[in-house]
Amino acid sequence: MKSIAELEQIRKKTLDEISLRTNKNVLRVVVGMATCGIAAGARPVMNAFLEELKKRNISDVSVTMTGCIGVCRLEPVVEVINPDGEKVTYVKMTAEKAVRVVAEHIVNGRVCSDLTIGAEEG
């Protein structure tokens, strides 16, 4: 290592990798992964989120799992919760829809209204 710039580079890169541990308020993607969710295909959905976030080099989003939210018929259910606690619930998710949610909601801040529980039930 010959420069401070190099040090800074390593710092930024590693910080991204471990940002999960800093436990700060980040946007959270919560995938319902109870039996119902897994049976309905929640795992490919979660993997799609991880893949897409990785592709776009987004590290300040945490992808976590939760149990059954209670609307098993609408699984896979994914909730996107922003740092101030506002929650959007997406239902009947697929891997393709997950990619869309990353692009539109997480990157550009536009909720994919047509995929939400309101659209499905309303």
Partner 1 sequence: MQLYRAHVLVCGGTGCTSSNSEKIIKELDVQLAANKLDSEVKVVKTGCFGLCAEGPIVVVYPEGAMYTMVKVEDIKEIVGEHLLKGRIVKRLLAGDKEHTDITKSLEGVGFFQRQMRVALRNCGVINPEIIDEYIAYDGYKALAKVLTEMSPEQVIDTVKKSGLRGRGGAGFPTGLKWEFASKSKDDQKYVCCNADEGDPGAFMDRSVLEGDPHSLIEAMAIAGYAIGSNQGFIYVRAEYPIAVKRLQIAIDQAKEYGLLGNNIFDTGFSFDLEIRLGAGAFVCGEETALMTSIEGKRGEPRPRPPFPAVKGLWNKPTILNNVETYANIPVIFLKGPEWFASLGTEKSKGTKVFAVGGKINNTGLVEIPMGTTLREIVYDIGGGIPNGKKFKAAQTGGPSGGCIPASLIDTPIDYDSLIQIGSMMGSGGLIVMDEDTCMVDIAKFFLEFTVEESCGKCPPCRIGTKRMLEILERITDGKGQDDDIGKLEVLAKNIKASALCGLGQTAPNPVLSTLKYFKDEYMSHVRDRKCPAGVCKSMMQYVINAERCKSCGICAKVCPANCISGEKKVPYVINQEKCLKCGACMEKCPFKAIFKNV
Binding site for partner 1 (CB under 8 A): 1-4, 7, 10-11, 13-18, 20-21, 23, 26, 28, 30-31, 33-34, 46-47, 50, 53-54, 57, 59, 62-67
With respect to partner 1, which residue has the nearer C-beta, 57 or 108?
57
Q: Closest approach of Cβ 37 to partner 1, in Å?
A: 9
CA 113 to each of CA 45, 79, 89, 119: distance values in angstroms, whole numbers, following the listed order: 18, 13, 10, 7
Q: Closest approach of Cβ 93 to partner 1, in Å?
A: 15
Q: Closest approach of Cβ 2 to partner 1, in Å?
A: 5
With respect to partner 1, which residue has the nearer C-beta, 59 or 82?
59
Q: Closest approach of Cβ 23 to partner 1, in Å?
A: 5
